[in-house]
Structure 1
Amino acid sequence: MKYPKIPLAQTVVQLCKLKNIRHIVISPGSRNAPLTIGFTNDSFFNCYSIVDERCAAFFALGIAQRLHEPAVVICTSGSALLNYYPAISEAFYSDIPLVVLSADRPKHLIGIGDGQTINQKNVYENHILYSANLKLDLKVENGFATKEELPIFKSIENKLERFLGLQQDIQSFNETELNKAFNTAWFKNGPVHINVPFDEPLYETVNELTIQPKSNDISFTRPTIDQTELKNCINDWDVSTKKMILVGVLPPNQIEQQWLDKLADDDSVIVFTETTSNLHHAKFFPSIDKIIAPLENANFKALQPDILITLGGLVVSKKIKAFLRQYQPKHHWHIDVKKANDTFFCLDKHIVAQPNDFFSAFLPKIKPVIKSNYFDTWMTVKRHRSKKHLEYIKHIGFSDFTVFSLVLKSLPNKTILQLGNSSTVRYAQLFNLNPSVEVYCNRGTSGIDGSTSTAVGCAAVSQKQTTFITGDLSFFYDSNALWNTYIPNSFRIILINNQGGGIFRILPGHKNTENFDYFFETKHDLTAKQLCEMYHIDYTTANNEIELRENLKTFYKKSNTPRLLEIFTPRTENDSILLDYFKYVR
């Protein structure tokens, strides 16, 4: 086996191995060559080559998001690592363990006008859990230290002894920093940055390891729920007749079914779930906006909870945010091991625990349900809205709304759904999903910039079929996501092309003007046909409901290439159909 000659590169690679970090996404470059040599020559690692750094980082994010374990992304020095920033900020706000390894030049070559050089130290400081800035190995030629950092000694023996001591100190420092960074990614679930300086020559290899770093593992203890705080929660809960649980982004299978059932059987509790929550129960309330958007003020007052419990990541629904900010609960508790966002400006408890751990400690101790009509009232509203929803679909023309209704029902059992941002995830909120489908979406920063790359990374490491639903601007923005060889043949893309940024037509503002079309909606006539030809993806189109229904019959079946279905919808009609929907279901 070939190893990089540089001790620092050996240290990084071997510690990744000791930490059981297997997935390595490499953006080609020269300064990162020692790392590339180390990772690609070791069969322990699964290595991927992604040229576009922004796509590479989101690809790695998709891997980490799917596997719930750290994925590494590696780049050369200079502006390359700045292209990782969108994915790093998404990982930061979505609690995804992403490890960035950026190669750097030696300190004496920074700030003197050398090529591909920027100030890389702590470059992500506002959106990173840990930054490790490693030290350059001391260099030896012909058995003697040549670095100017070494002091001048009277004898060769003293000089060599001093050199060996300094190098040992550097090695110890680097191992300590690497251990801290890797442990942070594993146990705090977030991005870390490791800046790794290398001096030339960069491509030399050796047949044996010269460094054997040590893994400084830490034991992870699940947070212990404060018993006084738990007792206070139970006391407040037992005297409240209106409790609301709101679930944001949550990975699948996070809460045991027995606790979901207990919550569902409580007449004083309503559970609002978003599409991204991956929680399902017949008595829960998905499609929040379908219920919230048409309400009058009197209804809002009746919906106002005494206690609000939130869990999971960020919430998509702007309607529920506006409602809870105006009609604040007496108590708002957020359950999370890391952080609690005061989204509704009334947070009074951050319960540091896994949601399942909290419910297992809390629910067995509460009193029998007190009499309440909170659930029954809102279940009546839910049934009414669902009935009107089905009626509305029957009499509208072909549109984004129709497409989502048909596409979401077509998803095969036990598959993965990746959603693009903007209007895509918001439309998905209005429909009930197959409970066996796992849902993912980049809701940390809610950007459109890396949705396709994330979906491809997820698909590359998943045994299940992955379907990605996206809008046209998001898809074309991130089209380099298809520039790799790791897209499985089972991967499916559903591209809803309404010839612009359709969400801007839904938002308040002047429409159908040249200024709006050009600067906001960004009207275009692009299609994905040529991209699919270039990247060897099977391409199909649908322009109406009949064509869409026919294509969906075979779209998910086994194939020799990935498939993309581009659905063209009427640009100037989608917004009125959606806005009229909320009036109709009222």
Structure 2
Amino acid sequence: MPSLIAAVVIDELVRNGVKWFVYCPGSRNGPLGFELARRARAGEIKFQVRLDERSAAFVALGITKAGGQPAAVVTTSGTAVSNLLPAVTEANYSDLPLVLVTANRPPEVLGTGASQTVEQTALLTSQTRHVQQVWSGESFGPEANGILRSQVCRALGIGTGQLLGRPGPVQLDVPLTSGLPPAGEIACPPGRSDDAPWIRMPGAARRTTSGSTAVDLRRPTLIIAGDGTDPAALPPRMPVMAEPTVELGDRKRLHPWVLDYVDPEQVVVYGRPTLHRNVGRLLARDGVRAVLASGPGDWIYAAPDIEVLSGNPRFHGEADAAWTEELGLTDAIVRGQWTRVMNETADRIGLGVARAVLAGLQPGDLLWLGASNPIRDVSLAGVVPAGVQVLSNRGVAGIDGNVSAAIGAALSAPDRTVVALLGDLTFAYDASGLQTGQLEQVPGNLILVVSNDAGGGIFELLEQGHTRYRQEPYGDTFERIYGTPQRVDIAQLCGAYDVAHRRVELGDLGIALRQERLARRLSVLEIPVARTALRDVHATARQAVDAAFASASAEVADAALELELQTPELTGNLEYS
């Protein structure tokens, strides 16, 4: 009986588009594991075994994010399920259809104190779209087959957004009477003909608002695109301040600091722009009309400062040429000063690593960006080359699971080179993601670039990093609770997992990237950089940009004065006949 249930669950998942399964060893989920192994041998699915459920869930998340199709993580019962929570939370806030297949003890032993029995259908409910405990009757006939398959279809329909409109993680809890392997060849009860799902879905649902909002582009308008933005929804021919994970094609991408030096009358926000604080400051300005182009999500970005929530803004009119020219000139000034400052100082900080990584990318590559500074450094240091896809865990923007998720992305796209830019703490936090069984596929197309500044560099730029908090009476407290330098030897850590490692100076990173691209192996490039200089570099860049705009304003004022002096003054009365 357990093997029949496992066969039907896996079969219906495959029919609903799940082709990747990440499996965590356990006793209770054994029937699911045997069925997955059988289908993998037949070439019907992709199959990876991972020891750590937390890491496995992020591998599946990376596969889902890179491939655009739901992937499944399969676990045993008990605390194994609770270890899925970090990845499930990220999938929830990123609207990713991650599928959780959790084996469970039979219902009749739940609540009896039996080993490994927890309320696992309630563990993840705050972060999942749907939890379905599947059929677990005593006999298995045609009726049971239909019930079980329809339950899987409903869960996948909700998870992919075909039923409720917002994709996200779903849990299929599978009670199994034992974890014993099948006694012989299992004849899976038949599904629909032509490998179709048991229930065909009508397509992704679309939630609409009661009305759309008119946006007149003749007014000075700024477009902001955060993570999760659909590029097709953006107004054509308008420059956009977009986060690195938003693909803009040949559209003009504005530097984030442009927001600090222009005065739009209205701002239209797409997605979740949580990377730069100046977005919130701009929306809070008096006289700025803030329009949020809402997606299918059930939460509203920057709600206190949003004036209008619109499901589908209607753009009309053409942007004034003087306004778009101002945006372009402002962007040029900001980028010019940033380039000058980085040329003088970025050889010793993470910004230089980001710039070198961007220079080493090629069309078709996939760039995975870690949280905290790496994604911000890319946003500030340059522009992602055309044809490069950028992914990052921006749902809840945590450092957890980035190594594992990057591995999942590389497994999902074996024909592409995947470069992951991570900080040292992000890497160390998920270093167990490098652990791979001897019989498992290791992605030979993944290069992990670790910008090692010996601690938490992001706090150097936050309020806590101000000089006054790094002196008495605080003493070493900042370094202890924010800097948090670690005694981790990255080379030895990689050696323990049999992963290639090289410690490279920043000036040699471009060459090292080219060499690792050709080597076709999972590798780690460790780049030593300074952390304490980061705040000063940002302050220097700000001063340079401020000075450049002050100089430009003075030149404009001088030109206006000269024009006024050259214009003859009209006096007396004019008579017309």
Name which of 261, 270, 273 aligns with 2:242: 273
Alignment partner of 2:420: what SS? strand
Kindly indicate whether the alpha-carbon contact (under 8 Å) linking 1:135 and 1:170 is maintained by their aligned counterparts in 2: yes
CA distance in 2, matches of 1:540, 1:121: 44
CA distance in 2, matches of 1:518, 1:321: 30
**Structure 1 counterpart of 2:216, one-letter code:** W
Match of 2:258 in 1: 291
Within 5 A, what are the aligned runs for 1:163-562? 171-186=145-160, 187=162, 188-200=166-178, 202-209=180-187, 211-213=189-191, 215-220=198-203, 223=206, 229-230=211-212, 232-233=213-214, 236-237=215-216, 240-250=218-228, 254-255=231-232, 262-264=236-238, 270-281=239-250, 283-285=252-254, 287-288=255-256, 290-292=257-259, 295=260, 299=261, 303-306=263-266, 308-327=267-286, 329-339=288-298, 341-347=300-306, 349-352=308-311, 362=314, 366-367=316-317, 369=318, 371=320, 373-396=322-345, 398-430=348-380, 431-462=382-413, 463-484=415-436, 485-509=440-464, 510-511=469-470, 513-543=475-505, 545-548=506-509, 550-552=511-513, 554-562=514-522
**Structure 1 counterpart of 2:423, one-letter code:** G
**Does residue 15 in structure 1 map to residue 12 in structure 2?**
yes
Kindly indicate whether the alpha-carbon contact (under 8 Å) linking 1:449 and 1:474 is maintained by their aligned counterparts in 2: yes
Match of 1:151 in 2: none
After TM superposition, give the deviation of residue 100 of structure 1 in Å: 0.1
Alignment partner of 2:541: what SS? helix
CA RMSD of aligned residues (A): 2.6
Q: How far does the alpha carbon of each residue in 1:116-157 deviate from its partner, in whole angstroms, 9 at most, with x for none? A: 221112321111111101232316xxxxxxxxxxxxxxxxxx
**Structure 2 counterpart of 1:551, one-letter code:** A
CA distance in 2, matches of 1:539, 1:224: 48
**Structure 1 counterpart of 2:323, one-letter code:** Y
Gaps of 5+ in 1: 140-163, 265-269
CA distance in 1, matches of 2:309, 2:183: 52
Match of 1:580 in 2: 540
Q: Identity across aligned pairs (percent)? A: 22
TM-score where L is the length of structure 1: 0.82
Moved more, 561-570 or 171-180: 171-180
Question: CA 1:281–1:168 in structure 2 vs 1: closer, same or farther (change >3 Å)?
Answer: closer
Q: How far does the alpha carbon of each residue in 1:387-435 deviate from its partner, in whole angstroms, 9 at most, with x for none? A: 2112112222522222222222222232000000011111111022212
Moved more, 430-439 or 374-383: 374-383
CA distance in 1, matches of 2:124, 2:504: 43
Kindly indicate whether the alpha-carbon contact (under 8 Å) linking 2:2 and 2:179 is maintained by their aligned counterparts in 1: no
CA distance in 2, matches of 1:224, 1:56: 32
Kindly indicate whether the alpha-carbon contact (under 8 Å) linking 1:419 and 1:439 is maintained by their aligned counterparts in 2: yes
After TM superposition, give the deviation of residue 201 of structure 1 in Å: 5.7
Question: CA 1:415–1:497 in structure 2 vs 1: closer, same or farther (change >3 Å)?
Answer: same
CA distance in 2, matches of 1:371, 1:413: 33
Match of 1:570 in 2: 530
Gaps of 5+ in 2: 193-197, 547-577
Question: CA 1:557–1:6 in structure 2 vs 1: closer, same or farther (change >3 Å)?
Answer: closer
Alignment partner of 1:8: what SS? helix
After TM superposition, give the deviation of residue 340 of structure 1 in Å: 5.6
Question: CA 1:400–1:138 in structure 2 vs 1: closer, same or farther (change >3 Å)?
Answer: same
Within 5 A, what are the aligned runs for 1:103-114? 103-114=103-114
Match of 1:25 in 2: 22
Kindly indicate whether the alpha-carbon contact (under 8 Å) linking 2:132 and 2:155 is maintained by their aligned counterparts in 1: yes
Match of 2:572 in 1: none
